[in-house]
Amino acid sequence: MEEQCYKNGSQGLFFIMDDLTAKKRQEEYNKGKWLVFDEMNVGIEFPQVEFEVTKELVEKYCEAMEDENVVFYDADAAKNQGFSGAIAPPTIVCIFAIPSALLSGFKPKIIPPPGNIHYRQEYEFLSPASVGDTINVKSVVIKKEIRKERKYVTIESEYVNQDGEKIAVGRITPIWAR
């Protein structure tokens, strides 16, 4: 049985699955209604996405990124650098910024159409997240335009921890396929 590597949008981690599991995931994904360019308007808000920063998430993310910075693993080392304890890599929030993750809260299910192309992504990191934090992601379409017959959609996401502290702001711009 052939195994393939897929991105898990709900967990944001890479994992290996067999062909049957991959096929079932694809069938489930395909049950959603496509969110097409003409149905999106500037100001449309996506349902909030929430995730917990777990030790396992940080470890797997650092392993995938080959990041061995001790402030992500060692509370004492982090304290020596001015943090209250071990922190999460700032870019860990990026795994929850892809359109399929941002659309995951819609009921009935809405999905980005196949063929979208990642065009641009930018972040402002304001405060570190720590293991145990719960991060709420609030996203809204802030720009929609057609250039050279290509459909661009810019989605801005604010990442706020359980204390209401904004830890990051991100903007992602895919070229929308349909």
> What is the pLDDT at residue 87?
94
> What is the pLDDT at residue 34?
84
- State pLDDT tens for residues 151-169: 999 999 999 999 999 999 9
Cα end-to-end distance, the chain, whole Å: 35
**CATH assignment of 33-53+92-176?**
3.10.129.10
CA distance 95 to 10: 9
CA dihedral 68, 71, 75, 78 (to 10 degrees): 150
**Whether the Cβ atoms of residue 137 and residue 48 lie closer than 8 Å to each other:** yes
**Whether the Cβ atoms of residue 73 and residue 62 lie closer than 8 Å to each other:** yes
* Cis check: omega of the bond before 99, within 30 degrees of 0: no
Among 84, 81, 91, smallest CA distance to 57 is for 91
- State pLDDT tens for residues 23-66: 765 666 667 778 889 988 999 998 888 889 998 999 999 999 99
- Structural domain boundaries in the chain: 33-53+92-176
Q: How confident is the model at residue 67 (pLDDT cuts 50, 70, 90)?
A: very high
Burial of 6 (0-12, 13-18, 19+ CB in 10 A): middle
pTM: 0.78
> What is the pLDDT at residue 30?
67
Q: Is the dihedral of CA 123, 109, 36, 114 positive or negative?
A: positive
